[in-house]
Amino acid sequence: MPEPTRITVLAGGIGGARFTRGLLHHLAGTGTESEVTVVGNTGDDIRLFGLQICPDLDTLMYTLGGGISEDRGWGREDETFTVRSELAAYGVAPDWFGLGDRDTATHLVRTQMLAAGYPLSAVTEALCDRWRPGVRLLPMSDDRVETHVVVEGDEPGTRRAIHFQEWWIRHRAALPAHGFVLVGAEDARPAPGVVEAITTADVVLLPPSNPVVSVGTILEVPGIREAVRSTPAPVVGVSPIVGDAPVRGMADACLRAIGVATSASAVALHYGSRTAGAGGHGLLDGWLVHDATDAEAVDALTASGITTRAVPLLMTDPMSTAAIAAQALALAGELRA
Ligand code: GDP
Ligand code: CA
């Protein structure tokens, strides 16, 4: 059966970007005519030093546009940090955010356009004119929403919320978290084109992004979860958890905060099966787990209404990542048939 033409990916930063790069590599290799839309998480966004910073959109744009630092996985290659050290010399807080000089130009352009009244989706499109990521990159929402993390307060028994970036970067996700709040979500709307990209897609893919603070956040924008649940397209996800740990980063701390075990199987069940027969309000038709560590999860997940395959899931290079994308599309093709 011919491969799908309209592919929509709900992505966070590094995991989402690397997977999508592999997807484009696969599509180019097979000569498939396709339109890929990436809906990027903006819950990580933060305003610092007067600049509007969108870490996940920038990771997607730089990775797909060839400007990413491969070592760090975020920010620009050949980066310098003079602005950051000058700000620190003034004693301006915070000093823990990785604000690079090249990156700062992106934030300046974005902030200036937002101040002139352009919505974030239009700003993102303008930035992508330079980077040509090969996908249509949409923020999940043009409205300002921010993930905050509920942690212990100073007084025993009290709690307070801090910005996700403060928890993630400054505290390295080591402060015990009691949950996440997407501030502004109630009144947020999906950005123009987001719902249509999901409901008119041939395939919807959940890449191996953080299921809580990347994909989970996107799904919290009113209307997006419903779009994923109701799309006629198969919905296939790729596990970010391999064995009992995230491949990279601290997704285990996020899962712990919402009471979900750190395993490929628990994440799949957290997303849930879309099949009504399975009784769930879930999202997934198909799921990929890592063959060397998680093959034993296949039968039970498949029986629960999520058709699961065990394949290699390490995105070590463009070829292996393209193969993961190919497996996701193949599973989607099976599910559609
Ligand atoms: P972030 O916004 O930059 O944190 O990136 P994402 O949310 O898009 O992706 C983070 C997730 O990618 C982490 O939970 C990792 O476990 C996952 N990840 C990173 N590299 C790999 C890989 O090679 N294979 C798989 N399966 N997952 C990966
Ligand atoms: Ca992120």
The model's pLDDT over 76-104, given as tens digits with 9 standing for 90+, comes to: 999 999 999 999 999 998 999 999 999 99
Please report the DSSP string for 214-228 in residue order.
THHHHHHSTTHHHHH
Instruction: Locate the ligand 1 atom nearest the alpha carbon of residue 240 and give its number.
Output: 27
Convert the pLDDT of each residue in 10-28 to its tens digit: 999 999 999 999 999 999 9
Ligand 1 is surrounded, with C-beta below 6 A, by 11-16, 56, 59, 208-210, 214, 238-240, 242, 246-249, 251, 313-315
Q: pLDDT value at position 281?
A: 80
| pLDDT beyond 70 at 221 | yes
| pLDDT beyond 80 at 3 | no
| pLDDT beyond 80 at 223 | yes
Strands (E), the chain: 6-11, 35-40, 46-48, 51-53, 136-139, 146-152, 159-163, 177-183, 203-206, 235-238, 241-242, 245-246, 286-290, 307-311
Which residues are registered as beta bridge partners of 46? 53
Q: pLDDT value at position 294?
A: 98
pTM over 0.95: yes
213 Cα: distance to centroid of ligand 2 (angstroms): 7
**Mean pLDDT on 152-178:** 95
Find where tokens 């966070």 sit.
Answer: 12
| pLDDT beyond 70 at 277 | no
Instruction: Tell me which of 42-51, 150-159, 162-171, 277-286 is least confident.
Output: 277-286
19 Cα: distance to centroid of ligand 1 (angstroms): 9
pLDDT over 70 percentage in the chain: 97
pLDDT over 90 percentage in the chain: 93
Confidence of residue 280 (pLDDT cuts 50, 70, 90): low
Residue list, CB under 5 A from ion ligand 2:
12-13, 44, 56
Strands, sheet with 159-163, edge to edge from the N-terminal-most edge strand: 159-163, 146-152, 177-183
Q: What are the distances in angstroms from CA 2 to CA 7, 260, 312, 330, 337? A: 13, 37, 23, 10, 11
Q: pLDDT value at position 32?
A: 85
Q: In this structure, which CATH number among 3.40.640.10, 3.90.230.10, 3.40.190.10, 3.40.50.10680 belongs to the domain 6-41+187-336? A: 3.40.50.10680
294 Cα: distance to centroid of ligand 2 (angstroms): 25
Convert the pLDDT of each residue in 302-320 to its tens digit: 999 999 999 999 999 999 9
The torsion defined by the Cα of 275, 276, 279 and 284, in degrees rounded to 10, comes to 30
Cα three-residue angle 268-278-287, rounded to 5 degrees: 25
User: How long, in residues, is the chain?
Assistant: 337
- What does the domain layout of the chain look like in residue ranges? 6-41+187-336
**Mean pLDDT on 254-274:** 97
Residue nearest to atom 12 of ligand 1 (CA): 15
Instruction: Locate the ligand 1 atom nearest the alpha carbon of residue 207 and give its number.
Output: 8
| pLDDT beyond 70 at 164 | yes
| pLDDT beyond 80 at 276 | no
**Mean pLDDT on 112-135:** 98
Mean pLDDT of the chain: 96
Q: How far, in whole angstroms, is CA 122 from its chain's centroid?
A: 20
59 Cα: distance to centroid of ligand 2 (angstroms): 9
168, 247, 270, 291: residue to mutate for ligand 1 pocket, most atoms within 8 A of CB: 247
Instruction: Locate the ligand 1 atom nearest the alpha carbon of residue 251 and give its number.
Output: 14
**Mean pLDDT on 109-124:** 98
265 Cα: distance to centroid of ligand 1 (angstroms): 16
- CB distance 40 to 17 below 8 Å: no
| pLDDT beyond 70 at 144 | yes
